[in-house]
Amino acid sequence: MTRLTFVRGDITEAPVDAVVNAANSSLLGGGGVDGAIHRKGGTEILAACRDLRASRYGRGLPTGQAVATTAGRLPARWVIHTVGPVWQPDEDRSGLLASCYRESLRVADELGAATIAFPAISTGVYGWPIDDGARIAVQTVRATPTSVTEVRFTLFSEVAYEAFVTYE
Ligand code: AR6
């Protein structure tokens, strides 16, 4: 049984086995959650991302996929990097957003992570409307078979938190 929990806060402080990073394909950092994770987690995470770019993901991590690295100095053991789709008003890219949640859970299962924290992927710089992003996140996690025991949605703003708890 997977328990879904909803908290307001900073994902870099989440007391979980794995935190999910809303990354970009380069895996080399950026703003938002990505910036916060690299800043607090330290250079070990970036070094692991560079190794991935030099090996399995020479052309970058495709949208909708996920890959794990060390979490460096974060309380978590692993960071699972995933690349959300950029919001396009004239194109339905929700399958790719759902894929981020599904693939992150698959990677968590491979790692043996029991607890995982998700941010609201794509709802910041990538412009996805928060209500729709929250619906896709919660519905996808509920529909995905996993050995993870707790999925903790960690929402930075009150608006995001309110959007997510609607689907509790
Ligand atoms: N903890 C939890 N949530 C956060 C935090 C935090 N520390 N900081 C921001 N959020 P975003 P995206 C929320 O922009 O839309 C980066 O530059 C934020 O309020 O981090 O997937 C990457 O490198 C929003 O609700 O990710 C990519 O280039 C949510 O996290 C691009 O942004 C996601 O916002 C990815 O854009």
- Given a contact cutoff of 8 angstroms between Cβ atoms, the answer to whether 76 and 19 are in contact is yes
Domain ranges, residue 56: 3-165
The angle at the Cα of 129, spanning 30 to 96, to the nearest 5 degrees, equals 70
Closest ligand 1 atom number to CA of residue 133: 25
Ligand 1 contact via 33 beta carbon (within 6 Å): yes
Whether 34 sits among the annotated catalytic residues: the reply is yes
User: What CATH code is carried by the domain that includes residue 119?
Assistant: 3.40.220.10
Whole-number Å distance between alpha carbons of 46 and 123 = 23
pLDDT digits (tens, 9 = 90+) for 57-100: 999 999 999 999 999 999 999 999 999 999 999 999 999 999 99
Number of domains composing the chain: 1
Give the residue-averaged pLDDT of 30-39: 98
Ligand 1 contact via 140 beta carbon (within 6 Å): no
What is the structure's pLDDT at 1?
Answer: 87
CA of 112 to the centre of ligand 1 (A): 25
